[in-house]
């Protein structure tokens, strides 16, 4: 498999937003600075109450999205996508390049950590994905950028982890 197709597949698996103008292979985002990161082993009780609440909320939103992907529940997954990118999500989600494609099966996932970046929160999720026609599942980590809206947290975009 060539690198370009692997990058395309990882981005497609990330969210199904391949047409949003964000390209996984050309990202040069720097690691977030400012508010602390929270890894899976850190005691969440040591966080300030507001950060603890936000950390819990964004983790739950990403878990709910990944559960929707795992069960191919496009409608539930769509609810967790930010309104300004839903049209693009709709255009891609169930195509061969989309996260809800029959070609892909999300076998397992775990939330690795969260990182606060300005008003957004980045959630790293390790994923194991079975791809039709391949003997072994692929492992990847996707960074979901979560944005606060009046209704709670939504997924603004997702990219492969570059760290």
What is the chain's length? 163
Provide the sign of the torsion angle of the four alpha carbons 100, 117, 37, 3, taken in this order. Answer: positive
Over the stretch 143-157, which tens digit does the pLDDT of each residue have? 999 999 998 999 999
DSSP codes of every residue in 15-43: TS-TTSS--GGG--PPPP-SSPEEETTS-
pLDDT digits (tens, 9 = 90+) for 2-24: 343 444 444 444 544 433 333 23
Please give the model's pTM, rounded to 2 decimal places. Answer: 0.74
Q: Which domains does the chain have, with CATH numbers?
A: 3-20+35-160 (3.10.450.50)
């Amino acid at each position: 498999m060539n690198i370009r197709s692997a990058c395309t597949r990882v981005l497609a698996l990330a969210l199904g937003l391949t047409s949003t103008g964000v390209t996984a292979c050309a990202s040069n985002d720097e690691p977030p600075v400012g508010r602390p990161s929270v890894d899976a082993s850190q005691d969440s009780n040591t966080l300030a109450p507001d950060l603890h609440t936000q950390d819990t909320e964004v983790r739950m939103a990403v878990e709910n999205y990944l559960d929707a992907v795992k069960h191919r529940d496009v409608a539930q997954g769509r609810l967790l996508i930010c309104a300004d990118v839903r049209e693009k999500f709709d255009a891609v989600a169930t195509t061969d390049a989309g996260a809800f494609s029959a070609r892909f099966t999300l076998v397992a996932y775990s939330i690795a950590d969260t990182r606060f970046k300005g008003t957004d929160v980045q959630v790293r999720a390790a994923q194991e994905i079975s791809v039709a026609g391949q003997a072994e599942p692929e492992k990847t980590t996707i960074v979901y950028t979560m944005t606060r809206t009046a209704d709670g947290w939504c997924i603004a975009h997702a990219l492969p982890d570059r760290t």
